[in-house]
């Protein structure tokens, strides 16, 4: 099935109508889920979503944003497989936590551990976590067993907001805007920022 996506550019007083023709299967739709507390005033998922919508990448996919503060609401969203099925990638922005040696994704109201994510919610999807420490192998293995992701990208250590934002901005721009495969986009992003950005961003495949 083919799909036409249209963008209109204003030139003087006349609008130029341009149609880009794509195959539906090649669209790279991304879902951003912002779970950082509003009081932090540094919300990376919103930055990523706004950036991709400002750049001329809309003909390659659509980008949606959900702001979620509670564990139960996040679970409800991830249980909606009909809604999620069109997205090639899901990015979650928030905080990582390590309570008694158990890693989890921390929201303003609740912590979601890898075995609590809905079964199969990330099936065959690119998954990015912008949350400190969640790139560690224990979290990754447990998440894979429950969710079935295609690949998983996250920082293995603590990372500053600005560093995480520029790292993931580059990754998604290469993946969507430059039409690169996700593994290639990851490698090129790491090469650009390995000496500058702390956090040890990891890439895992089953």
What are the sequence ranges of the domains in the chain? 25-204
pLDDT at 10: 37
Residue 21: the pLDDT is: 38
pLDDT for residue 152: 95
Please give the chain's pLDDT, 206 residues, in tens: 333 333 333 333 333 433 333 334 467 899 999 998 887 767 788 888 888 887 665 557 789 999 999 999 999 999 999 999 989 999 999 999 998 889 999 999 999 999 999 999 999 999 999 998 899 999 999 999 889 999 999 998 888 888 888 999 999 989 988 889 999 999 999 998 887 887 789 999 98
169/187 Cα distance (integer angstroms): 14
Whole-model pTM?
0.83
Q: Topology of domain 25-204, per CATH?
A: Rossmann fold (3.40.50)
- Per-residue model confidence (pLDDT) at position 109: 95
């Amino acid at each position: 099935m083919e799909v036409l996506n249209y963008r209109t550019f204003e030139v003087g007083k006349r609008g130029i109508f341009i149609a880009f023709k794509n195959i539906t299967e090649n669209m790279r739709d991304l879902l951003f889920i912002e779970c950082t507390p509003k009081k932090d005033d540094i919300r990376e998922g919103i930055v990523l979503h706004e950036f991709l919508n400002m750049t001329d990448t809309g003909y390659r996919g659509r980008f949606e944003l959900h702001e979620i503060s509670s564990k139960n609401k996040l679970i409800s969203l991830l249980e909606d497989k009909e809604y999620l099925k069109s997205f090639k990638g899901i990015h979650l922005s928030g905080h990582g936590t390590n309570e008694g040696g158990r890693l989890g994704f921390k929201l303003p109201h609740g912590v979601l551990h890898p075995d609590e994510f809905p079964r199969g919610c990330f099936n065959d999807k690119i998954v990015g976590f912008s949350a400190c420490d969640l790139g560690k192998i224990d979290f990754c293995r447990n998440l894979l067993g429950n969710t079935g992701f295609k690949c998983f990208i996250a920082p293995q250590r603590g990372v500053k907001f600005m560093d995480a934002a520029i790292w993931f901005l580059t990754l998604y721009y290469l993946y969507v805007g430059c039409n690169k495969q996700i593994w290639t986009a990851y490698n090129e992003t790491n090469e650009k920022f390995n000496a500058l950005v702390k956090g040890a961003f990891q890439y895992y495949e089953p």
